[in-house]
Amino acid sequence: MNAVIATPSSPPHIEALQTRVLGGVLRFARWSPLTSVALFLLVVPIVLAVLAPVIAPFDPTLNQYSKLVQEPSATHIMGTDKLGRDVFSRLLYGTRVSLFVAFAAVLLGEALGFFLGVATAYIGGRFDLVSQRLVDVVMSFPTLILAMLLMAGLGAGIATIIIAIAVTRVPGSARIIRSVALSVKSLPYVEAARVVGASHWRIMLRHIAPQCVAPLLVVFSLNLGAAIFAEAALSYLGVGVPPPTASLGNMLGEQNAQSFKPPWWLVVYPGLAITIIILAANLVGDSLRDFFDPRLKGRGMGR
Amino acid sequence: MQTYIARRLLAAIPTIFGITVLIFLAMRVLPGDPFLAVGGDTASTMRMTDEQVQQARAQLGLDRPYWQQYLSWMGDIARGELGRSFWRDEPVRDLILRRAPISAEIATLAIVVAWFVGIPLGVLSATRTNTVIDYIARVFAVLFIAIPGFWLSILIVTVLVLTFLWRPPITSVDLWVDPWTNLQMVIGPGLVLGFGIAAVLARFSRSSMLEVLGEDYVRTARAKGLAARAIIWPHALKNAMLPTITVTGTAIGSLLGGAVAVETAFSVPGLGLTLVQALNERDWTIVQNLVLLYGVLFTLVNLLVDVSYSWFDPRIRYS
């Protein structure tokens, strides 16, 4: 989709949209210091996750049986877990896995929702009606329950958790895109394209789809927060990223709440990381939405 | 009003049918085979010989064609039996009936907490914008929307054990048998989930309250000299409540899902913990019926929200 926008031969309205978005981003940075802090909080985990192999002092899956469940110390700054693995290293790699899962799931889910939304709006008729009922069905599950159901069907794993979370992101995106595409569809230039004899595919992809990208970018960050939560919860419950691979969620699941003297460092650090990422993603998402769509200002999002 | 409710109820039927089909497809047609993990090379906890797997499949009716399996499931539901748990050898209906009350208590407590904390906080925050109260309310909302309930629960359990050597009881006791023990079990999950929803409610009631306070009729009320209290409660709050109802509806969705993880963290034997155990034991009879229960519950909640919304705002009925 980006390629379409960047083509020099883009119609003028797309260039206008492009400058609007670019100018918007610049003004946005000066507009809200809180958002800048949130962006910073979001970028730091991403950088740490990317650099995990460089920063991590230990192999995240290396068991050291001489150092089981040790409190934080100079060598293991966040302590070790029940298998003697370095918690700090696991946290870095876990953030990497969790962020990867969340980004991939949101991209996949929004892309599917995007095409479904544009197609249903453009084709309309019975196809639209049936798709809407399907979206209703998917939406009548609590998101976490739906993801658990899909994980039961697909089996635990990184690819499957990405698919499961992506599916929970489809209906919302499809609804948003459908409403935008419906309003774009009735604009004079789409009619003009049809009169000139453009094919349905061309109208959908070149004339309607580009106008629908912005609304998805706006909710990307909010979806990211929801996806991080979903990954954490699923992996915590044992139906997500399978061990020994570290993820922020399964690190919490591995510590055993039943033990008599629970090691606090196994609880505090992964949870803090999850909270900070969700907090930052939500704050960034809220400001993005307030900025691009002031009508929705102040409307928070639940999980 | 009756015709509206009837229309909505009729519209829910195809949705619930769709829910059953989706669950069935997810459980049977998706590539993960329940017995692959038990038998075969990838066995993790238990091993079964190929013959045992065949036997178990036949016992569960998994060797029949899909449409027969689906119809027999529908038959089970129509008879109110829901099939038998594979590992526990107990009717799923009994299991659900035994474990539902505590989840219902937790959900009720959570919603009560959410309303009594969230709405006043949102109203205070809207009527005293940019004061300390407003600031605290907004930080509370942003923070509790972000903190995962299950992590907060693990944290609470850990702190309680480390400092007071106390943990919530883990065996289920009915409210009317031993209210004190029962309360100890539900208070933690109820508060954690309640505060999570309260944060969302506080946020929404603040923004919708601000919107209403800017309306003409509020200005008129103020101009004719009504006291602030007489404006806020009867004039503004009633109208500001509308969006709040919708939010409570969506919040119940996150409550149903979130409760699964929170119950697990507190080891409260409710429906959520049952679902997690069934998933990990691959007890598909329990999983499919519990997920169906969650889907139907959520559909009914949404229905209730729509109906109550149209009761508060009659314009909706006629559109």
Pick among B38, B121, B153, B154 to test the A interface (most A CBs inside 10 A): B154
* Both tokens assigned to A19: 């400058």
How much is the average pLDDT of B286-294? 89
pTM of this structure? 0.86
The reported pLDDT for the residue numbered B191 is 93
B104/B270 Cα distance (integer angstroms)? 9
| Residue range A113-153, pLDDT digits in tens | 999 999 998 888 898 888 888 898 898 888 999 999 998 88
The reported pLDDT for the residue numbered B38 is 47
Contacts of B207 in chain A (CB under 8 A): 297-300
**Helix boundaries (H) for B25-130:** 50-60, 66-78, 92-127
Say yes or no for a CB contact (<8 Å) between A233 and B162.
no
Say yes or no for a CB contact (<8 Å) between A252 and B206.
no
Say yes or no for a CB contact (<8 Å) between A142 and B19.
no
Of A140, A155, A301, the CB nearest to B299: A140
Of the listed ranges A26-30, B104-108, B288-292, the least confidently predicted one is A26-30
How much is the average pLDDT of B76-82? 78
| Residue range A92-117, pLDDT digits in tens | 999 999 999 999 999 999 999 999 99
Asked whether residue A7 carries a pLDDT value surpassing 60, the answer given is no
Q: Does A20 fall in a domain?
A: no
How much is the average pLDDT of A195-214? 86
Asked whether residue B286 carries a pLDDT value surpassing 60, the answer given is yes
Four-residue CA torsion sign, B273, B278, B284, B285: negative
Q: Does A194 fall in a domain?
A: yes
Asked whether residue B205 carries a pLDDT value surpassing 60, the answer given is yes
Least Cα distance to A300 among B206, B137, B127 occurs for B206
Q: Does A56 fall in a domain?
A: no
Asked whether residue A4 carries a pLDDT value surpassing 60, the answer given is no
- In the three-class reduction of DSSP (H, G, I as helix; E, B as strand; rest coil), residue A76 is classed as coil
How much is the average pLDDT of B305-311? 81
Q: Which one-letter amino acid corresponds to residue A42?
A: L
Q: Does A121 fall in a domain?
A: yes
The reported pLDDT for the residue numbered A1 is 41
Of A140, A148, A258, the CB nearest to B279: A148
Least Cα distance to B193 among A253, A302, A149 occurs for A302
Say yes or no for a CB contact (<8 Å) between A302 and B31.
no
Name the average pLDDT for chain A: 82
Residue in chain A closest to B27 (alpha carbons) equals: A153
> Smallest CA–CA separation between B126 and chain A, in Å?
12
- E strand spans, B119-278: none
Of B158, B260, B264, the CB nearest to A267: B158
Look at the block and give the residue holding tokens 């889907």: B295
Say yes or no for a CB contact (<8 Å) between B250 and A271.
no
How much is the average pLDDT of B192-209? 89
The reported pLDDT for the residue numbered A276 is 94
Instruction: Using pLDDT thresholds of 50, 70 and 90, give the confidence band for residue A277.
Output: very high
Range with the largest mean pLDDT of A71-80, A270-279, B275-284: A270-279
How much is the average pLDDT of B104-108? 90
DSSP per-residue codes, A101-167: HHHHHHHHHHHHHHHHHHHHHHH-HHHHHHHHHHHHHHHTS-HHHHHHHHHHHH-SSHHHHHHHHHH
What share of chain A has pLDDT > 90, as a percent? 25
B107/B193 Cα distance (integer angstroms)? 8
Q: Does A89 fall in a domain?
A: yes
Contact of A241 with A250, CB cutoff 8 Å: yes
Contacts of A134 in chain B (CB under 8 A): 18
Pick among A237, A275, A286 to test the B interface (most B CBs inside 10 A): A237
Give the DSSP letter of residue A187.
S
B186/B53 Cα distance (integer angstroms)? 40
> Smallest CA–CA separation between A226 and chain B, in Å?
9
The parent domain of residue A236 ranges over 85-296
Name the average pLDDT for chain B: 81
Number of domain units in chain A: 1
Asked whether residue A5 carries a pLDDT value surpassing 60, the answer given is no
**Between helices B284-312 and B271-281, what is the axis angle to 10°?**
150
Greater confidence, B313 or B307? B307
The reported pLDDT for the residue numbered A254 is 66
Torsion-angle region of B145 (φ positive above 0: left; ψ -120 to 50: alpha; else: beta)? alpha
Greater confidence, B56 or B42? B56
Say yes or no for a CB contact (<8 Å) between B145 and A275.
no
Asked whether residue B136 carries a pLDDT value surpassing 90, the answer given is no
Say yes or no for a CB contact (<8 Å) between B257 and A302.
no
Asked whether residue A224 carries a pLDDT value surpassing 90, the answer given is yes
* Both tokens assigned to A238: 């044992």
Say yes or no for a CB contact (<8 Å) between A264 and B287.
no
Q: Which residues of B274-289 are buried (b: 16+ CB within 10 A; e: fewer)?
A: bbbbbbebbbbbbbbb
Q: Does A52 fall in a domain?
A: no
A206/A190 Cα distance (integer angstroms)? 10
Alpha carbon separation from A54 to A47, A58, A81 (Å, rounded): 11, 10, 21
Contacts of B250 in chain A (CB under 8 A): 302
The reported pLDDT for the residue numbered B266 is 87
Contact of B309 with B246, CB cutoff 8 Å: yes
Greater confidence, A232 or B238? A232
Greater confidence, A50 or B62? A50
The reported pLDDT for the residue numbered B127 is 84
Residue in chain A closest to B285 (alpha carbons) equals: A152
- In the three-class reduction of DSSP (H, G, I as helix; E, B as strand; rest coil), residue B165 is classed as coil
Of A152, A160, A271, the CB nearest to B155: A271
- Is the N-terminal amide bond of A244 cis, ω within 30° of 0? yes
* Both tokens assigned to B191: 């508060």
ipTM higher than the 0.90 cut: no
How much is the average pLDDT of A245-253? 86
Residue in chain B closest to A301 (alpha carbons) equals: B200
Least Cα distance to A80 among A60, A96, A56, A54 occurs for A60
Q: Does A125 fall in a domain?
A: yes
Query: What's the CATH number where A273 sits?
Result: 1.10.3720.10
Neighbours of A188 (CB within 10 A): 7
Of A267, A275, A303, the CB nearest to B154: A267
